[in-house]
Amino acid sequence: MTWACGMLLAIAMLLLYTVLGCYGYNWDQLKLHPEHIPFFFNSNPEIKLLCNQTETCPYRWTLSTKKCWGYEENCTVLDRMKTPECDGDSHGWAADRASQLDMFWKQADFGYVNERLNEMKRLCTPNTQNDSSLECVRYTRFCRGKNIYFDFKEASFSQSRERFREDLFKAGQIGGHCTLDREALKAEGEHKSALQSWFAELEQFTPLPFHPIKDQHCDVIIDKPTYLMKLDAGVNLFHHFCDFINLYIAQHVNNSFSTDVNIIMWDTSSMPYRDFFEDTWRAFTDYSVKPLSSYDGKRVCIKEVVFTLLPRMRYGLYYNMPLIPGCSGSGMVRAFSQHLMHRLHISQEGPAKYSIRITLLSRKTKYRNILNQDELVSALKTVGEFEVKLVEYNLDMPFLEQMKISHNSDIFIGIHGAGLTHLLFQPDWAVVFEIYNCEDEHCYLDLARLRGIKYMTWEKKEKMVQEDEGHHPTLGAHSKFTNYAFDVSEFMRLMYKAADYVRTHPGFIKAWREKYETRKEETYMKEEL
Ligand SMILES: *[C@@H]1O[C@H](CO)[C@@H](O)[C@H](O)[C@H]1NC(C)=O
Ligand SMILES: *[C@@H]1O[C@H](CO)[C@@H](O)[C@H](O)[C@H]1NC(C)=O
Ligand SMILES: *[C@@H]1O[C@H](CO)[C@@H](O)[C@H](O)[C@H]1NC(C)=O
Ligand SMILES: *[C@@H]1O[C@H](CO)[C@@H](O)[C@H](O)[C@H]1NC(C)=O
């Protein structure tokens, strides 16, 4: 190393030290699940280095691990967080096991992030240090920008009843001070649709003759890093969690998990948005979600903005996703679940010492009720090993409390319906039992495969009674619009099978031992890694 080079390095280290170290880096602000720390460190080497240099860093035991999420450059398969399993038939989707695994990895696991990172392309290039910039993945399903200008002077959100207007901007009303590759932008328009891409918004992106912030063209300047999101239905758990999981994936694409960020809900109307699950936002931001309409009539400049992945992207997670058969266990979806539980302070109290914790989700709706629910619950209660809870998840029970019950359910039972999305919060060793899928076979089966837990459903149609043919408001007979009764002994046969699965799951056994056998507190996390 030459003298100059050594000096430079020393200066760089000193700078880093003053920026991060001088006042003591606040390790608590990471707020990451302990299991995620080494992964985060390896994709943030400067923070890892700081930990190495700080005696008080609480994560020093992770420094020697080489673990990586899976999308980082140089991340080998062996070092990945967790790899999915493909022990079933791919039904012709893939030629062999290796390509089956690879396909699942790219569709549904951290390979998905890797694919997006590989697509990232600069669309507007800065000419000087403090210029604007814009880069996007294919079809503008995710973008990030610097010093971006949004002119809402003519937006009149208050007059609008359309949540996703596609003509919000005219040329010059969205843009930045940078050199735009017009052809490249135009080539990304194929997925133009409200919840599939940001093309309707970015189509009019214009290279501006002025620097929006420095030349004082903004009524509002947003300094804090900001995520823009177009949301699916906030009243439905299945739909809304599609928003949250895509926000989490977007954070991986950007490699940043700070909660000191704004979230702006891109809704071009000022109609109220009902959000039954809003407690979940606390895992992502310290502030309340800002409606776009609060910027009505203003020119807004955002210094660091991310246009997040969308809930209904083609082949996106998880709404429009034909998932390759035969595989399960996405490390990314598991990480999402861990991240939420950690940030929302929902703890795992199990496994219980001598019992299997069973939750049966009751519905008080017109259709899809279990007619002999009481009979099933009584039968379960005759088994000493079963700890049974009958719950109704509604607005009277805070959402975090619902999540806590689900997180502490070894077996979760429910009939087809959005409530089954709670399977995302169950522990690794769990079973979700969709007692009847109402002929919608893939929805929760696929979600359980993503989460990597065991899915079960009713096996013998003759041992089930359908109340009547069903009454869809327009389509006539329909299996989702009626109620069902289930044969008790067949039900119990399936429940014993489910309990067996839980009891013999390596994750269950490990957690049980850690809890009830003399454990060495400090070493068990290390052994895991
Ligand atoms: C910390 O940094 C030193 C010097 O670069 C290195 O030798 C050591 O292996 C690092 N420690 C760990 C635990 O990675
Ligand atoms: C990846 O490995 C190559 C070759 O060993 C190396 O040059 C490169 O710096 C590595 N990249 C990262 C991000 O570590
Ligand atoms: C860019 O902005 C920073 C911080 O505002 C400032 O210190 C720097 O001088 C600017 N650089 C240029 C080239 O304008
Ligand atoms: C995205 O990542 C960059 C680089 O780490 C960071 O500066 C920025 O704040 C992040 N953006 C958001 C919205 O979190």
Per-domain boundaries in the chain: 7-60, 122-307, 346-516
**Atom in ligand 3 nearest the alpha carbon of residue 129:** 13
Closest CA to 292 of 162, 202, 199, 142: 162
**Atom in ligand 2 nearest the alpha carbon of residue 72:** 13
Asked if residue 76 has its Cβ within 6 Å of ligand 2, the reply is no
Give the residue whose CA is nearest to atom 6 of ligand 2: 74
pLDDT for residue 173 = 98
Give the tokens for residue 255: 């490699």
pLDDT in tens, 412-454: 999 999 999 999 999 999 999 999 998 889 999 999 999 999 9
Give the residue whose CA is nearest to atom 11 of ligand 1: 52
pLDDT band at 4 (very low <50, low <70, confident <90, very high): low
Mean pLDDT of 335-344: 98
Testing ligand 3's pocket by substitution, the residue of 129, 132, 133, 147 carrying the most ligand atoms inside 8 A of its CB is: 129
Residue where the block lists tokens 């041992």: 463
> What is the number of the ligand closest to the CA of 129?
3
**Residue 198 burial (CB count, 10 A):** 25
pLDDT of 314 higher than 70: yes
Q: Is 192 exposed, middle or buried (0-12, 13-18, 19+ CB in 10 A)?
A: middle
pLDDT of 525 higher than 80: no
**Atom in ligand 2 nearest the alpha carbon of residue 74:** 1
pLDDT in tens, 251-288: 999 999 999 999 999 999 999 999 999 999 999 999 99
- What's the 147 CA to ligand 3 centre distance in angstroms? 13
Give the tokens for residue 21: 């170290």
Residue by residue, what is the 3-state secondary structure of 402-428? HHHHHHCCCEEEECCCHHHHHHHHCCC
One-letter identity of residue 451: R
* E strand map for 130-229: 133-136, 143-151, 174-176, 179-180, 206-207, 220-222, 226-229
pLDDT for residue 2 = 52
> What is the number of the ligand closest to the CA of 223?
4
Selected residue with higher pLDDT from 18 and 109: 109
Give the residue whose CA is nearest to atom 9 of ligand 1: 64
pLDDT band at 25 (very low <50, low <70, confident <90, very high): confident
pLDDT for residue 82 = 82
Asked if residue 204 has its Cβ within 6 Å of ligand 4, the reply is no
Is 346-516 a domain of CATH 3.40.1580?
no
With pLDDT > 90 as the criterion, what percentage of the chain qualifies?
A: 82
Give the tokens for residue 261: 């960020």
pLDDT in tens, 212-256: 999 999 999 999 999 999 999 999 999 999 999 999 999 999 999
Closest CA to 383 of 484, 488, 505: 488
pLDDT for residue 262 = 98
pLDDT for residue 1 = 45
- What's the 127 CA to ligand 3 centre distance in angstroms? 13
Asked if residue 130 has its Cβ within 6 Å of ligand 3, the reply is yes
**Which residues, including other chains, have CB under 8 Å from residue 504's CB and lie 6 or more apart?**
none
Choice among 19-23, 285-289, 321-325 with the minimum mean pLDDT:
19-23
Cα(290)–Cα(265) distance, integer angstroms: 6
pLDDT of 18 higher than 50: no
pLDDT in tens, 57-69: 999 989 999 899 9
Pocket of ligand 1 (CB under 6 A): 52, 63-64
pLDDT in tens, 65-99: 989 999 998 899 999 988 899 999 999 999 999 99
- ω into 351 cis (within 30 of 0): yes
